[in-house]
Amino acid sequence: MENVSNVDKLESIKSFQSTISKLENALATVTQKGANTTLLKKRLKAIYIGFAMLENVWNQKKHHYTQKDLAEARNVLTGLFPSIKSIYVKLKAGSPQRTLLERRIKALELAVQAIDDFSDE
């Protein structure tokens, strides 16, 4: 992964931590209601893997994920882009929500790149 500024690294890590927290809370709520949790679990696992890959690249933290895990996570993460981008374009320039989504998109792109780089090794 090429030159990523420390600011982008920090914002990406914070974005992943925020996303993980939101998904864990959503999973708890959906589980209590007895609804289907398959999609949330799949997304949460992909976010965990994306975060682990960034931590691996930037902080040399080891991960235990297989090539199959990485491939599945990559598909889930790239599948999030259309819905995030459709929400993004509707938001007012300079709004906090738009800034949050810009950071989330950047973080997801970097995670996908980290997965791709790792898979190419």
Going from N- to C-terminal start, the domains of the chain cover 6-116
pLDDT at 47 over 90: yes
Look at residue 68 and tell me whether its pLDDT is greater than 90: yes
Q: What is the pLDDT of residue 121?
A: 65
Residue 1 has pLDDT above 70, yes or no: no
Question: Tens digits of per-residue pLDDT, 3-45?
Answer: 899 999 999 999 999 999 999 999 999 999 999 999 999 999 9
Of 72, 60, 95, 16, the C-alpha closest to 8 is: 16
Given a contact cutoff of 8 angstroms between Cβ atoms, the answer to whether 73 and 44 are in contact is: no
pLDDT of residue 120: 73
118 contacts 94 by C-beta, under 8 angstroms: no
d(CA 44, CA 86): 21
- Look at domain 6-116 and name its CATH class: mainly alpha
pLDDT attached to residue 103? 96
Is the per-residue pLDDT at 119 higher than 90?
Answer: no
